[in-house]
Chain A
Amino acid sequence: MIAGETLERTVINVENVKMNFNLSREKTDNLKEYVIKFIKRELHHDPFWALKGVSFKVEKGDKFGIVGLNGAGKSTILKIISGVMKPTEGDIQVKGSMVPLLEMGAGFDPDYTGRENIFLKGALLGYNRRFLEEKFDEIVEFSELEEFIDVPLKNYSSGMKARLAFSIATMVEPEILIVDEVLSVGDAKFQQKSREKMNSLLDEDATVLFVSHATQQVRIICNKAIWLHQGELIAEGSAEEVCDLYEKWIREN
Protein backbone atom coordinates (compact mmCIF):
# COMPACT_ATOMS: atom_id res chain seq x y z
CA MET A 1 0.00 0.00 0.00
CA ILE A 2 2.70 2.40 1.00
CA ALA A 3 4.85 1.37 -1.93
CA GLY A 4 1.88 2.00 -4.20
CA GLU A 5 1.44 5.47 -2.80
CA THR A 6 5.04 6.47 -3.34
CA LEU A 7 4.77 5.19 -6.86
CA GLU A 8 1.71 7.38 -7.35
CA ARG A 9 3.52 10.42 -6.06
CA THR A 10 6.63 9.94 -8.15
CA VAL A 11 6.45 12.28 -11.15
CA ILE A 12 10.01 11.93 -12.38
CA ASN A 13 11.84 8.66 -12.09
CA VAL A 14 15.46 8.59 -13.22
CA GLU A 15 16.95 5.12 -13.22
CA ASN A 16 20.65 4.49 -13.67
CA VAL A 17 20.99 7.03 -16.46
CA LYS A 18 24.26 7.11 -18.33
CA MET A 19 25.09 9.55 -21.07
CA ASN A 20 28.00 9.12 -23.40
CA PHE A 21 29.20 11.79 -25.77
CA ASN A 22 31.62 10.69 -28.42
CA LEU A 23 33.93 13.65 -28.41
CA SER A 24 35.86 13.46 -31.61
CA ARG A 25 38.97 15.56 -31.39
CA GLU A 26 37.88 17.50 -34.42
CA LYS A 27 34.30 17.70 -35.53
CA THR A 28 33.90 15.70 -38.72
CA ASP A 29 30.73 16.83 -40.36
CA ASN A 30 31.49 16.55 -44.01
CA LEU A 31 31.96 13.62 -46.30
CA LYS A 32 35.37 14.60 -47.63
CA GLU A 33 36.97 14.76 -44.20
CA TYR A 34 35.13 11.63 -43.12
CA VAL A 35 36.46 9.61 -46.05
CA ILE A 36 40.01 10.94 -45.62
CA LYS A 37 39.98 10.18 -41.92
CA PHE A 38 38.42 6.79 -42.49
CA ILE A 39 41.18 5.86 -44.91
CA LYS A 40 43.89 7.21 -42.62
CA ARG A 41 42.17 5.46 -39.70
CA GLU A 42 41.94 8.71 -37.83
CA LEU A 43 38.30 8.49 -36.83
CA HIS A 44 39.03 8.46 -33.13
CA HIS A 45 36.38 9.14 -30.61
CA ASP A 46 37.16 9.87 -27.01
CA PRO A 47 34.28 8.46 -25.04
CA PHE A 48 33.16 11.00 -22.49
CA TRP A 49 30.61 10.01 -19.88
CA ALA A 50 28.67 13.11 -18.94
CA LEU A 51 26.50 11.00 -16.62
CA LYS A 52 27.82 7.82 -15.08
CA GLY A 53 24.73 6.08 -13.80
CA VAL A 54 22.51 8.54 -11.96
CA SER A 55 19.29 7.54 -10.22
CA PHE A 56 16.80 9.64 -8.30
CA LYS A 57 13.10 10.20 -7.89
CA VAL A 58 11.18 13.45 -7.80
CA GLU A 59 7.79 13.43 -6.10
CA LYS A 60 4.77 15.54 -6.89
CA GLY A 61 5.10 19.04 -5.44
CA ASP A 62 8.82 18.72 -4.80
CA LYS A 63 10.99 21.73 -5.39
CA PHE A 64 13.99 19.79 -6.51
CA GLY A 65 17.41 21.41 -6.73
CA ILE A 66 20.37 20.13 -8.72
CA VAL A 67 23.69 21.62 -7.70
CA GLY A 68 27.19 21.08 -8.99
CA LEU A 69 30.07 22.73 -10.77
CA ASN A 70 30.18 23.50 -14.48
CA GLY A 71 30.42 20.25 -16.39
CA ALA A 72 28.93 18.21 -13.60
CA GLY A 73 26.15 17.01 -15.89
CA LYS A 74 23.39 19.31 -14.61
CA SER A 75 22.25 20.55 -18.00
CA THR A 76 22.59 17.09 -19.49
CA ILE A 77 20.24 15.57 -16.92
CA LEU A 78 17.74 18.38 -17.55
CA LYS A 79 17.90 17.79 -21.28
CA ILE A 80 17.35 14.09 -20.76
CA ILE A 81 14.39 14.68 -18.45
CA SER A 82 12.80 17.14 -20.86
CA GLY A 83 13.20 14.62 -23.69
CA VAL A 84 15.59 16.68 -25.76
CA MET A 85 18.24 13.97 -25.50
CA LYS A 86 17.96 10.26 -25.05
CA PRO A 87 20.24 8.64 -22.50
CA THR A 88 22.82 6.15 -23.73
CA GLU A 89 21.69 3.77 -21.02
CA GLY A 90 19.06 3.81 -18.32
CA ASP A 91 15.45 4.81 -18.16
CA ILE A 92 13.44 7.96 -17.49
CA GLN A 93 9.76 8.22 -16.65
CA VAL A 94 7.94 11.52 -16.50
CA LYS A 95 4.30 12.03 -15.55
CA GLY A 96 2.57 15.27 -16.36
CA SER A 97 3.03 18.30 -18.59
CA MET A 98 6.43 19.84 -18.54
CA VAL A 99 7.59 23.32 -19.43
CA PRO A 100 11.26 24.19 -19.67
CA LEU A 101 12.14 27.73 -18.67
CA LEU A 102 15.55 27.69 -20.26
CA GLU A 103 17.22 29.82 -22.89
CA MET A 104 14.39 32.28 -23.16
CA GLY A 105 15.00 33.39 -26.75
CA ALA A 106 14.65 29.95 -28.30
CA GLY A 107 11.62 29.51 -30.46
CA PHE A 108 10.86 33.15 -31.18
CA ASP A 109 10.82 34.44 -34.72
CA PRO A 110 12.34 37.92 -35.03
CA ASP A 111 10.13 38.87 -37.99
CA TYR A 112 6.98 37.88 -36.13
CA THR A 113 5.07 40.29 -33.89
CA GLY A 114 4.72 39.70 -30.17
CA ARG A 115 1.18 38.46 -30.75
CA GLU A 116 2.22 35.92 -33.37
CA ASN A 117 5.17 34.81 -31.26
CA ILE A 118 2.90 33.99 -28.34
CA PHE A 119 1.12 31.47 -30.53
CA LEU A 120 4.32 30.18 -32.12
CA LYS A 121 6.11 29.69 -28.84
CA GLY A 122 2.98 28.32 -27.18
CA ALA A 123 2.66 25.76 -29.97
CA LEU A 124 6.30 24.87 -29.48
CA LEU A 125 5.56 24.10 -25.85
CA GLY A 126 2.80 21.81 -27.03
CA TYR A 127 -0.28 23.94 -26.38
CA ASN A 128 -3.22 24.15 -28.75
CA ARG A 129 -4.89 27.20 -30.22
CA ARG A 130 -7.93 27.26 -27.97
CA PHE A 131 -5.82 27.18 -24.83
CA LEU A 132 -3.55 29.96 -26.05
CA GLU A 133 -6.47 32.14 -27.10
CA GLU A 134 -7.90 31.78 -23.61
CA LYS A 135 -4.61 32.68 -21.98
CA PHE A 136 -3.62 35.36 -24.48
CA ASP A 137 -4.82 38.44 -22.56
CA GLU A 138 -3.31 37.16 -19.35
CA ILE A 139 0.07 36.62 -21.00
CA VAL A 140 0.09 40.07 -22.58
CA GLU A 141 -1.00 41.74 -19.37
CA PHE A 142 1.63 40.00 -17.30
CA SER A 143 4.41 40.83 -19.74
CA GLU A 144 3.31 44.53 -19.75
CA LEU A 145 3.79 44.63 -23.50
CA GLU A 146 0.28 45.76 -24.52
CA GLU A 147 1.59 48.68 -26.58
CA PHE A 148 4.17 46.61 -28.41
CA ILE A 149 2.24 43.42 -28.98
CA ASP A 150 1.88 44.10 -32.72
CA VAL A 151 5.49 45.17 -33.20
CA PRO A 152 7.95 42.68 -34.75
CA LEU A 153 10.10 41.03 -32.13
CA LYS A 154 13.35 42.22 -33.72
CA ASN A 155 12.46 45.71 -32.47
CA TYR A 156 12.11 44.49 -28.88
CA SER A 157 14.83 45.04 -26.33
CA SER A 158 16.33 41.91 -24.82
CA GLY A 159 14.50 42.68 -21.58
CA MET A 160 11.18 42.84 -23.40
CA LYS A 161 11.87 39.50 -25.10
CA ALA A 162 12.73 37.88 -21.78
CA ARG A 163 9.53 39.27 -20.25
CA LEU A 164 7.44 37.81 -23.05
CA ALA A 165 9.18 34.44 -22.76
CA PHE A 166 8.75 34.32 -19.01
CA SER A 167 5.08 35.23 -19.28
CA ILE A 168 4.37 32.49 -21.83
CA ALA A 169 6.28 29.81 -19.96
CA THR A 170 4.75 30.45 -16.54
CA MET A 171 1.23 31.53 -17.51
CA VAL A 172 0.39 28.04 -18.64
CA GLU A 173 0.83 26.65 -15.12
CA PRO A 174 2.66 23.48 -15.97
CA GLU A 175 2.70 20.49 -13.66
CA ILE A 176 6.48 20.32 -13.92
CA LEU A 177 8.54 23.47 -14.41
CA ILE A 178 12.19 23.22 -15.35
CA VAL A 179 14.22 26.27 -14.39
CA ASP A 180 17.81 26.79 -15.42
CA GLU A 181 19.05 29.80 -13.44
CA VAL A 182 16.80 32.38 -15.03
CA LEU A 183 15.18 34.28 -12.24
CA SER A 184 16.75 37.60 -13.17
CA VAL A 185 14.56 38.69 -16.03
CA GLY A 186 13.90 42.27 -17.12
CA ASP A 187 14.19 45.32 -14.90
CA ALA A 188 13.99 45.43 -11.12
CA LYS A 189 10.23 45.88 -11.15
CA PHE A 190 9.63 42.93 -13.42
CA GLN A 191 12.11 40.84 -11.47
CA GLN A 192 10.04 41.43 -8.38
CA LYS A 193 6.94 40.42 -10.28
CA SER A 194 8.50 37.31 -11.78
CA ARG A 195 9.77 36.30 -8.35
CA GLU A 196 6.25 36.61 -7.01
CA LYS A 197 4.95 34.55 -9.90
CA MET A 198 7.60 31.95 -9.24
CA ASN A 199 6.67 31.95 -5.59
CA SER A 200 3.01 31.43 -6.36
CA LEU A 201 3.98 28.54 -8.61
CA LEU A 202 6.12 27.26 -5.80
CA ASP A 203 3.26 27.45 -3.34
CA GLU A 204 1.03 25.45 -5.60
CA ASP A 205 1.53 21.79 -6.14
CA ALA A 206 3.65 22.32 -9.23
CA THR A 207 6.84 20.30 -9.29
CA VAL A 208 9.91 22.41 -9.92
CA LEU A 209 13.29 21.26 -11.13
CA PHE A 210 15.83 23.95 -10.40
CA VAL A 211 19.41 23.87 -11.61
CA SER A 212 22.06 26.14 -10.17
CA HIS A 213 25.67 26.32 -9.19
CA ALA A 214 24.79 28.89 -6.53
CA THR A 215 23.39 27.31 -3.39
CA GLN A 216 21.71 30.50 -2.14
CA GLN A 217 18.72 30.23 -4.47
CA VAL A 218 18.52 26.48 -4.01
CA ARG A 219 18.23 26.95 -0.24
CA ILE A 220 15.42 29.47 -0.70
CA ILE A 221 13.44 27.63 -3.34
CA CYS A 222 14.01 23.93 -2.87
CA ASN A 223 13.09 21.35 -0.27
CA LYS A 224 15.10 18.53 -1.80
CA ALA A 225 18.33 18.50 -3.72
CA ILE A 226 21.01 16.38 -5.30
CA TRP A 227 24.66 17.18 -5.89
CA LEU A 228 26.26 16.03 -9.10
CA HIS A 229 29.99 15.93 -9.65
CA GLN A 230 31.55 14.82 -12.94
CA GLY A 231 28.51 12.80 -13.84
CA GLU A 232 28.12 11.08 -10.52
CA LEU A 233 25.60 11.53 -7.78
CA ILE A 234 27.53 12.62 -4.68
CA ALA A 235 24.73 13.44 -2.30
CA GLU A 236 20.95 13.31 -2.12
CA GLY A 237 18.62 14.59 0.55
CA SER A 238 17.04 17.74 1.90
CA ALA A 239 18.15 20.94 0.21
CA GLU A 240 19.83 22.23 3.38
CA GLU A 241 21.87 19.08 3.92
CA VAL A 242 23.02 18.81 0.33
CA CYS A 243 23.89 22.51 0.14
CA ASP A 244 25.89 22.28 3.37
CA LEU A 245 27.87 19.34 2.04
CA TYR A 246 28.43 21.02 -1.30
CA GLU A 247 29.58 24.31 0.26
CA LYS A 248 31.87 22.51 2.64
CA TRP A 249 33.42 20.63 -0.25
CA ILE A 250 33.90 23.87 -2.22
CA ARG A 251 35.64 25.54 0.73
CA GLU A 252 37.98 22.59 1.10
CA ASN A 253 38.95 22.47 -2.54
Chain B
Amino acid sequence: MSGNITGHRFLYNFRKYKFLLYQLVSRDIKIKYRRSVLGIFWSFLEPLLTMIVLTIIFSTLFKRLGVENFPVYLLTGRLIITFFSGATMAAMRSIRGSAGILKTVYVPKYIYSLSAILSNFVTFLLSLVVLFLVMAATNAPFTFYIIFTSLPILALLFFTIGVGMIVATVNVFFRDLEHLYGVLMTLLMYATPVFYPAEIVPESFRFIQDYNPLYAVIECCRSVFLYGKIYDPYQLLFALVSAAVAMIVGLTLFYKYQDKFILRV
Protein backbone atom coordinates (compact mmCIF):
# COMPACT_ATOMS: atom_id res chain seq x y z
CA MET B 1 0.00 0.00 0.00
CA SER B 2 1.55 3.25 -0.99
CA GLY B 3 0.65 6.50 0.61
CA ASN B 4 1.81 10.01 0.73
CA ILE B 5 2.64 10.78 4.34
CA THR B 6 1.82 14.44 3.96
CA GLY B 7 -1.37 13.81 2.04
CA HIS B 8 -4.85 13.34 3.37
CA ARG B 9 -5.66 9.68 3.73
CA PHE B 10 -8.37 9.50 6.28
CA LEU B 11 -10.18 6.38 5.08
CA TYR B 12 -7.09 4.28 4.52
CA ASN B 13 -5.89 5.28 7.96
CA PHE B 14 -9.14 4.52 9.65
CA ARG B 15 -9.22 1.02 8.22
CA LYS B 16 -5.62 0.46 9.19
CA TYR B 17 -5.99 1.74 12.73
CA LYS B 18 -9.47 0.58 13.67
CA PHE B 19 -7.95 -2.38 15.51
CA LEU B 20 -5.91 0.11 17.54
CA LEU B 21 -9.10 2.02 18.33
CA TYR B 22 -10.67 -1.22 19.52
CA GLN B 23 -7.58 -2.08 21.56
CA LEU B 24 -7.48 1.32 23.24
CA VAL B 25 -11.17 1.29 24.13
CA SER B 26 -11.02 -2.20 25.59
CA ARG B 27 -7.79 -1.35 27.42
CA ASP B 28 -9.42 1.66 29.08
CA ILE B 29 -12.34 -0.44 30.23
CA LYS B 30 -10.28 -3.45 31.33
CA ILE B 31 -7.69 -1.45 33.26
CA LYS B 32 -10.33 0.61 34.99
CA TYR B 33 -11.78 -2.42 36.68
CA ARG B 34 -8.87 -4.83 36.71
CA ARG B 35 -7.85 -4.51 40.32
CA SER B 36 -11.31 -4.19 41.82
CA VAL B 37 -13.07 -7.26 43.17
CA LEU B 38 -16.44 -6.41 41.66
CA GLY B 39 -14.89 -5.49 38.33
CA ILE B 40 -17.28 -4.34 35.64
CA PHE B 41 -20.17 -4.40 38.12
CA TRP B 42 -19.01 -1.02 39.37
CA SER B 43 -20.43 0.36 36.12
CA PHE B 44 -23.84 -0.67 37.45
CA LEU B 45 -23.24 -0.14 41.13
CA GLU B 46 -21.81 3.35 41.05
CA PRO B 47 -24.78 5.08 39.35
CA LEU B 48 -27.19 2.98 41.40
CA LEU B 49 -25.64 3.96 44.74
CA THR B 50 -25.35 7.63 43.77
CA MET B 51 -28.95 7.60 42.66
CA ILE B 52 -30.09 6.13 45.97
CA VAL B 53 -28.17 8.76 47.94
CA LEU B 54 -29.46 11.64 45.83
CA THR B 55 -33.00 10.29 45.85
CA ILE B 56 -33.01 10.07 49.63
CA ILE B 57 -31.67 13.61 49.95
CA PHE B 58 -33.79 15.32 47.33
CA SER B 59 -37.04 13.47 47.69
CA THR B 60 -37.13 14.11 51.43
CA LEU B 61 -35.83 17.67 51.30
CA PHE B 62 -37.86 18.86 48.35
CA LYS B 63 -41.02 16.86 48.70
CA ARG B 64 -43.14 19.65 47.34
CA LEU B 65 -41.30 19.77 44.05
CA GLY B 66 -43.62 17.12 42.74
CA VAL B 67 -41.53 15.18 40.29
CA GLU B 68 -43.15 11.85 39.71
CA ASN B 69 -40.77 8.89 39.82
CA PHE B 70 -37.79 10.89 41.02
CA PRO B 71 -35.28 7.97 40.72
CA VAL B 72 -35.84 7.63 36.96
CA TYR B 73 -35.98 11.42 36.51
CA LEU B 74 -32.66 11.79 38.29
CA LEU B 75 -30.91 8.81 36.78
CA THR B 76 -31.75 9.79 33.18
CA GLY B 77 -30.27 13.23 33.63
CA ARG B 78 -27.32 12.17 35.68
CA LEU B 79 -26.16 9.35 33.38
CA ILE B 80 -26.17 11.71 30.41
CA ILE B 81 -24.36 14.54 32.21
CA THR B 82 -21.82 12.13 33.73
CA PHE B 83 -21.09 10.64 30.33
CA PHE B 84 -20.64 14.04 28.75
CA SER B 85 -18.33 15.44 31.41
CA GLY B 86 -16.34 12.19 31.85
CA ALA B 87 -15.85 11.67 28.13
CA THR B 88 -14.91 15.24 27.26
CA MET B 89 -12.53 15.37 30.22
CA ALA B 90 -10.83 12.16 29.08
CA ALA B 91 -10.64 13.51 25.52
CA MET B 92 -9.15 16.75 26.80
CA ARG B 93 -6.29 14.85 28.41
CA SER B 94 -5.92 12.34 25.57
CA ILE B 95 -3.34 14.19 23.45
CA ARG B 96 -1.11 15.24 26.33
CA GLY B 97 -1.49 11.84 27.96
CA SER B 98 -0.26 9.95 24.91
CA ALA B 99 2.49 12.42 24.01
CA GLY B 100 5.17 9.75 24.50
CA ILE B 101 3.64 7.54 21.82
CA LEU B 102 2.67 10.33 19.44
CA LYS B 103 6.29 11.48 19.47
CA THR B 104 7.72 8.11 18.49
CA VAL B 105 5.27 6.33 16.21
CA TYR B 106 2.97 7.69 13.55
CA VAL B 107 -0.59 7.16 14.71
CA PRO B 108 -3.57 9.26 13.62
CA LYS B 109 -3.95 11.53 16.62
CA TYR B 110 -7.71 11.59 16.69
CA ILE B 111 -7.68 7.86 17.48
CA TYR B 112 -6.59 8.69 21.02
CA SER B 113 -9.25 11.34 21.58
CA LEU B 114 -11.93 9.18 20.00
CA SER B 115 -11.00 6.12 22.06
CA ALA B 116 -11.23 8.16 25.28
CA ILE B 117 -14.78 9.13 24.35
CA LEU B 118 -15.85 5.70 23.13
CA SER B 119 -14.70 3.91 26.28
CA ASN B 120 -16.81 6.32 28.31
CA PHE B 121 -19.68 5.66 25.92
CA VAL B 122 -19.44 1.91 26.52
CA THR B 123 -19.62 2.51 30.27
CA PHE B 124 -22.61 4.78 29.64
CA LEU B 125 -24.41 2.09 27.64
CA LEU B 126 -23.74 -0.45 30.39
CA SER B 127 -25.15 1.92 32.99
CA LEU B 128 -28.38 2.15 30.98
CA VAL B 129 -29.02 -1.37 32.30
CA VAL B 130 -29.28 0.19 35.76
CA LEU B 131 -31.78 2.68 34.41
CA PHE B 132 -33.92 -0.13 33.02
CA LEU B 133 -33.73 -2.00 36.34
CA VAL B 134 -34.81 1.10 38.24
CA MET B 135 -37.59 1.68 35.70
CA ALA B 136 -38.82 -1.86 36.27
CA ALA B 137 -38.62 -1.46 40.03
CA THR B 138 -40.57 1.81 39.98
CA ASN B 139 -43.22 0.65 37.50
CA ALA B 140 -42.14 3.12 34.85
CA PRO B 141 -43.73 2.53 31.43
CA PHE B 142 -41.83 0.30 29.03
CA THR B 143 -42.97 1.29 25.58
CA PHE B 144 -42.04 0.72 21.98
CA TYR B 145 -40.66 4.27 21.98
CA ILE B 146 -37.58 3.17 23.91
CA ILE B 147 -36.04 2.18 20.58
CA PHE B 148 -36.30 5.81 19.48
CA THR B 149 -34.10 7.03 22.33
CA SER B 150 -31.19 5.78 20.23
CA LEU B 151 -31.54 8.93 18.10
CA PRO B 152 -30.99 11.52 20.86
CA ILE B 153 -28.29 9.26 22.32
CA LEU B 154 -26.53 9.21 18.95
CA ALA B 155 -26.79 13.00 18.85
CA LEU B 156 -25.28 13.03 22.35
CA LEU B 157 -22.38 10.86 21.22
CA PHE B 158 -21.56 13.07 18.24
CA PHE B 159 -21.98 16.24 20.25
CA THR B 160 -19.54 14.80 22.81
CA ILE B 161 -17.03 13.84 20.09
CA GLY B 162 -17.20 17.37 18.68
CA VAL B 163 -16.72 19.05 22.04
CA GLY B 164 -14.03 16.48 22.93
CA MET B 165 -12.03 17.37 19.81
CA ILE B 166 -12.28 21.06 20.67
CA VAL B 167 -11.08 20.68 24.25
CA ALA B 168 -8.35 18.20 23.25
CA THR B 169 -6.95 20.78 20.82
CA VAL B 170 -7.26 23.75 23.16
CA ASN B 171 -5.66 21.86 26.03
CA VAL B 172 -2.51 21.23 24.01
CA PHE B 173 -1.92 24.95 23.77
CA PHE B 174 -3.45 26.16 27.02
CA ARG B 175 -3.01 23.85 29.91
CA ASP B 176 -5.18 25.93 32.24
CA LEU B 177 -8.19 24.32 30.67
CA GLU B 178 -7.62 21.19 32.75
CA HIS B 179 -8.15 23.15 35.95
CA LEU B 180 -10.97 25.26 34.60
CA TYR B 181 -12.88 22.40 33.03
CA GLY B 182 -13.84 20.70 36.30
CA VAL B 183 -15.46 23.95 37.42
CA LEU B 184 -17.23 24.34 34.08
CA MET B 185 -18.62 20.84 34.37
CA THR B 186 -19.93 21.51 37.89
CA LEU B 187 -21.59 24.64 36.53
CA LEU B 188 -23.14 22.62 33.69
CA MET B 189 -24.39 20.03 36.17
CA TYR B 190 -26.22 22.70 38.17
CA ALA B 191 -27.38 24.71 35.16
CA THR B 192 -29.07 21.63 33.72
CA PRO B 193 -32.19 20.37 35.43
CA VAL B 194 -30.77 17.04 36.57
CA PHE B 195 -31.94 16.77 40.15
CA TYR B 196 -34.44 19.63 40.23
CA PRO B 197 -37.53 20.17 38.07
CA ALA B 198 -37.06 22.49 35.13
CA GLU B 199 -40.06 24.57 36.27
CA ILE B 200 -38.37 25.96 39.38
CA VAL B 201 -36.02 27.99 37.22
CA PRO B 202 -37.33 31.61 36.88
CA GLU B 203 -38.66 32.55 33.47
CA SER B 204 -35.81 34.98 32.82
CA PHE B 205 -33.25 32.18 33.13
CA ARG B 206 -35.11 29.58 31.05
CA PHE B 207 -32.90 30.36 28.06
CA ILE B 208 -30.15 28.37 29.80
CA GLN B 209 -32.27 25.28 29.31
CA ASP B 210 -33.57 26.23 25.90
CA TYR B 211 -30.10 26.55 24.41
CA ASN B 212 -28.57 23.57 26.19
CA PRO B 213 -28.11 20.65 23.78
CA LEU B 214 -27.57 18.25 26.68
CA TYR B 215 -30.87 19.26 28.19
CA ALA B 216 -32.55 18.63 24.85
CA VAL B 217 -31.17 15.08 24.92
CA ILE B 218 -32.22 14.62 28.54
CA GLU B 219 -35.72 15.89 27.74
CA CYS B 220 -36.04 13.47 24.83
CA CYS B 221 -34.98 10.54 27.00
CA ARG B 222 -37.18 11.59 29.91
CA SER B 223 -40.34 11.73 27.79
CA VAL B 224 -39.77 8.12 26.84
CA PHE B 225 -38.35 6.60 30.02
CA LEU B 226 -40.47 8.57 32.45
CA TYR B 227 -43.76 9.18 30.69
CA GLY B 228 -43.76 6.56 27.95
CA LYS B 229 -44.36 9.19 25.28
CA ILE B 230 -42.47 10.05 22.14
CA TYR B 231 -40.36 13.18 22.46
CA ASP B 232 -40.84 16.56 20.87
CA PRO B 233 -39.23 16.30 17.41
CA TYR B 234 -37.92 19.86 17.72
CA GLN B 235 -35.90 18.86 20.79
CA LEU B 236 -34.34 16.06 18.76
CA LEU B 237 -33.70 18.36 15.83
CA PHE B 238 -31.98 20.86 18.13
CA ALA B 239 -29.80 18.08 19.58
CA LEU B 240 -28.86 16.82 16.10
CA VAL B 241 -28.04 20.29 14.78
CA SER B 242 -25.92 21.03 17.86
CA ALA B 243 -24.09 17.73 17.35
CA ALA B 244 -23.40 18.58 13.70
CA VAL B 245 -22.12 22.05 14.59
CA ALA B 246 -19.90 20.68 17.38
CA MET B 247 -18.49 18.04 15.02
CA ILE B 248 -17.72 20.56 12.28
CA VAL B 249 -16.04 23.00 14.67
CA GLY B 250 -14.20 20.20 16.50
CA LEU B 251 -12.86 18.44 13.41
CA THR B 252 -11.86 21.70 11.71
CA LEU B 253 -9.99 22.90 14.76
CA PHE B 254 -8.34 19.53 15.35
CA TYR B 255 -7.21 19.10 11.75
CA LYS B 256 -5.97 22.66 11.56
CA TYR B 257 -3.72 22.38 14.58
CA GLN B 258 -2.85 18.69 14.85
CA ASP B 259 0.52 19.08 13.12
CA LYS B 260 1.58 21.45 15.87
CA PHE B 261 0.65 19.06 18.68
CA ILE B 262 4.00 17.27 18.64
CA LEU B 263 5.87 20.53 19.07
CA ARG B 264 3.75 21.59 22.00
CA VAL B 265 3.22 18.55 24.20
Chain A contacts to B: CB under 8 angstroms: 21-22, 29-32, 34, 79, 81-87, 91-98, 100, 102-103, 106-107, 109, 111-112, 116, 119-120, 123-129
Can you list 15 A-B contacts with CB-CB less than 8 angstroms, sorted by A residue number?
A29-B264, A31-B176, A85-B263, A86-B6, A87-B6, A92-B6, A94-B3, A106-B105, A107-B101, A107-B104, A109-B27, A112-B30, A120-B23, A124-B107, A125-B105
Given contacts A83-B106, A85-B263, A120-B27, 14 further A-B contacts (CB under 8 A): A29-B174, A29-B264, A31-B174, A79-B103, A84-B102, A85-B259, A86-B259, A91-B6, A92-B6, A106-B101, A107-B104, A111-B34, A124-B20, A128-B19
Q: Give every chain B residue within 8 A of A123 (Cβ-Cβ).
A: 17, 19-20, 22-24
- Bound CA span A124–B30, Å: 18
Are B2 and A95 in contact, with the CB atoms below 8 A?
Answer: yes
Query: A30's contact among B30, B104, B175, by CB below 8 Å, is which?
Result: B175
Q: Give every chain B residue within 8 A of A107 (Cβ-Cβ).
A: 101, 104-105
- Bound CA span A100–B104, Å: 8
Q: Does B41 contact A (CB under 8 A)?
A: no
Q: Chain B interface: which size bin?
A: 20 to 34
Chain B facing A: main interface SS: helix
Q: Does B262 contact A (CB under 8 A)?
A: yes
Query: B23's contact among A21, A97, A119, by CB below 8 Å, is which?
Result: A119
- Bound CA span A67–B163, Å: 45
Query: B105's contact among A82, A86, A93, A95, by CB below 8 Å, is which?
Result: A82
- Bound CA span A91–B44, Å: 52
Q: Does B37 contact A (CB under 8 A)?
A: no
Q: Give every chain A residue within 8 A of B31 (Cβ-Cβ).
A: 109, 111-112
Instruction: Give chain A nearest CB distance to B259 CB in angstroms.
Output: 5
Which residue of the partner chain A has the closest CB to B2? A95
Q: Give every chain A residue within 8 A of B4 (Cβ-Cβ).
A: 93-94
Q: Does B1 contact A (CB under 8 A)?
A: yes
- Bound CA span A23–B20, Å: 33
- Bound CA span A86–B175, Å: 23
Are A106 and B19 in contact, with the CB atoms below 8 A?
Answer: no
Q: Does B148 contact A (CB under 8 A)?
A: no
Are B176 and A82 in contact, with the CB atoms below 8 A?
Answer: no
- Bound CA span A229–B16, Å: 36
- Bound CA span A55–B27, Å: 41
Per-position binary interface string of chain B over residues 9-31, scored 1 when its CB falls under 8 Å from any chain A CB and 0 otherwise: 00000001101101110010011
Are A84 and B105 in contact, with the CB atoms below 8 A?
Answer: yes
Instruction: Give chain B nearest CB distance to A124 CB in angstroms.
Output: 6
Q: Give every chain B residue within 8 A of A109 (Cβ-Cβ).
A: 27, 31
Are B16 and A126 in contact, with the CB atoms below 8 A?
Answer: yes
Query: B262's contact among A84, A125, A128, by CB below 8 Å, is which?
Result: A84
Q: Give every chain A residue within 8 A of B34 (Cβ-Cβ).
A: 111
Are A100 and B105 in contact, with the CB atoms below 8 A?
Answer: yes
Which residue of the partner chain B has the closest CB to A85? B262
Are B176 and A32 in contact, with the CB atoms below 8 A?
Answer: yes
**Which of A84, A96, A97, A112 is most buried by chain B, counting CB atoms within 10 A of its CB?**
A84
Are A106 and B100 in contact, with the CB atoms below 8 A?
Answer: yes
Q: Give every chain B residue within 8 A of A124 (Cβ-Cβ).
A: 20, 23, 101, 105, 107
Query: A102's contact among B22, B104, B107, by CB below 8 Å, is which?
Result: B104
Q: Give every chain B residue within 8 A of A22 (Cβ-Cβ).
A: 263
Known contacts A92-B6, A112-B27, A123-B19; is-contact A97 B105 (Cβ 8 Å): no
Q: Does B173 contact A (CB under 8 A)?
A: yes
Q: Give every chain B residue within 8 A of A95 (Cβ-Cβ).
A: 2
Q: Give every chain B residue within 8 A of A79 (Cβ-Cβ).
A: 103, 262
Are A21 and B19 in contact, with the CB atoms below 8 A?
Answer: no
Q: Does B5 contact A (CB under 8 A)?
A: yes
Per-position binary interface string of chain B over residues 184-223, scored 1 when its CB falls under 8 Å from any chain A CB and 0 otherwise: 0000000000000000000000000000000000000000
Instruction: Give chain A nearest CB distance to B258 CB in angstroms.
Output: 9
Are A94 and B5 in contact, with the CB atoms below 8 A?
Answer: yes
Known contacts A124-B20, A126-B16; is-contact A103 B1 (Cβ 8 Å): no
A-B residue pairs, 10 tightest by C-beta: A83-B106, A123-B20, A123-B23, A31-B174, A106-B104, A83-B5, A30-B176, A86-B259, A31-B176, A30-B175
Interface hits, B159-175 → A, CB 8 Å: 173-175
Query: A84's contact among B2, B27, B104, by CB below 8 Å, is which?
Result: B104
Instruction: Give chain B nearest CB distance to A148 CB in angstroms.
Output: 18
